[in-house]
Structure 1
């Protein structure tokens, strides 16, 4: 599709370089249900790759859709193999104005903290270990935003058997869960003490 045609369609509607999109097809054999990423706005997309054009908070939306917390809820609402517009619109996504009221102490405003990490992931982090840690921090924050306690977080993560099985094959343990719980604990400690969150990666990570 000619880029000029895309520009014509988007004129007055969208002036950013990318779209937040998600895959329509979701199967029981997939590790995750909501499969989402940022894609270039200079290309055309078919009906099996859905697009969102939020007026604000596109990175925050991507953080929500990529989280285990939302993925768990999405599976409860799914009746087939299509993550349609209707299904995605039913997901519990707080408004950006509500999220900005969160009181987790961070080294920068919450929106900037999220945007920085989402931008790093969209820009592709070459080191897979660093990428896993950044994703874990975002997941841990989303669990805090959704108000899940530590035991609930542990339970939700245990309902992703394919992620667990792949981790155990590659690392000998459920590393994704370990990283998220470590970041979750560090965020909880920051909130309780009122001191800025400090990443726990220099500590030993336990299951």
Structure 2
């Protein structure tokens, strides 16, 4: 089993200056569209950008709730800049356990690697507790190493929960471009991104044997 494609309903938002007129030069409209082929959501235009953002967020969230079995542990696997955090953002905030966010809470800086061991400890407590109580959990971190994934699978198995790998097959060039646009404190060294990219490709055929009950791929 090498994984089946997953198409989360991620939207893009835009402004349309075509509605500007001579009498109303500052007036423009706003809209959004879903990136999933065939999804016709987001056909309206809005005069207030906040209304467009609200409806786009609602669409993403509504569709995200149907993607996985309730109580599942969803483990993102992919290099920095591959889209894992954007994917996680469509789920309810309390579902998401982000290693970057935990580093930020501990040190005031999401890129502070010195507190990663403590952040991982917090992550483990959160994941184990949510599995115990049957709460769907989306893990936003790289998870490209087999020993890291093995510990996560064990936590889900302990409480008889399904565990899903979502593998991000974004091209190395796109990962590098996104990584470059990050703030300096969150930018990952290029050699590290390349290593994570290679490890992701190597991991894909191994995930079923590691105990994942479902394997999905994004991009590629």
Q: TM-score, normalised by structure 2?
A: 0.29
- Higher strand proportion: 2
Q: TM-score, normalised by structure 1?
A: 0.30
Larger Rg, first or second structure (1 or 2): 2
